[in-house]
């Protein structure tokens, strides 16, 4: 609290993602990520992915994580995604447990619009925003994910940097 009273802080703006199903007008917002997955099913789903109007890939996987730099050190990192510096203006597309070794995370500019089409004729697909708000959709289902029209402002102490925190939390440079 003393740092706040003495103005020993900076205000950082962080990107938010917006997701919408093309079948309804409900919007989901995530500071960290938008996750589209198969839920509790033991079967994989087919996830056709487009960036702007270009076809990227069809992942056969348990799901896909679309995340902001803020969310890169959460679920996405745990599934093999890259660590992205918070001030980077990018979005990461990361398949969850893909069923091919060549499926890799892709980083795109935050100006891109990502379209995801899930084909699983026999079941529903699950969409979650920041692990909080969620909904099930009948397949085939189509989603549009893009940068939200607003940001979130976070107060950060001047003591320590993103890299200091990263080294500490990941035990980099320590003999474990």
Write down the pLDDT at residue 46.
92
Write down the pLDDT at residue 22.
93
Could you give the angle at the alpha carbon of 73 between the alpha carbons of 56 and 133, nearest 5°? 75
> In this predicted model, what pLDDT tens digit does every residue of 18-52 receive, in sequence order?
999 999 889 999 999 999 998 777 788 999 999 99
> In this predicted model, what pLDDT tens digit does every residue of 43-95 receive, in sequence order?
889 999 999 999 999 999 999 999 999 999 999 999 999 999 999 999 999 99
Mean local confidence (pLDDT), 103-122: 92
Q: Per the structure block, which two tokens stand in for 9?
A: 């802080």
Nearest to 50 by CA among 116, 141, 120: 116
Write down the pLDDT at residue 122.
66
Write down the pLDDT at residue 132.
92
Report d(CA 57, CA 137) in Å as an integer.
21
pLDDT above 70 covers what percent of the chain? 98
Write down the pLDDT at residue 44.
86
């Amino acid at each position: 609290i003393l740092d706040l009273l003495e103005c020993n802080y900076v205000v950082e703006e962080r990107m938010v993602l917006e997701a919408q199903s093309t079948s309804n007008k409900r919007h989901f917002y995530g500071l960290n990520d938008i996750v589209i997955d198969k839920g509790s099913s033991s079967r994989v789903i087919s996830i056709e992915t487009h960036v702007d109007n270009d076809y990227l890939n069809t992942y056969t996987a348990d799901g896909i994580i679309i995340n902001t730099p803020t969310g890169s050190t959460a679920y996405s990192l745990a599934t093999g995604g890259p660590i992205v510096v918070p001030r980077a203006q990018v979005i990461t597309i990361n398949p969850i447990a893909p069923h091919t070794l060549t499926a890799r995370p892709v980083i795109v500019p935050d100006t891109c619009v990502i379209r995801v089409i899930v084909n699983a004729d026999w079941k529903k697909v699950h969409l979650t925003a920041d692990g909080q708000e969620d909904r099930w959709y009948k397949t085939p289902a189509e989603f549009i994910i893009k940068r939200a029209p607003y940001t979130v402002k976070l107060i950060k102490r001047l003591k320590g940097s993103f890299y200091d925190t990263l080294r500490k939390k990941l035990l980099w440079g320590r003999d474990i």
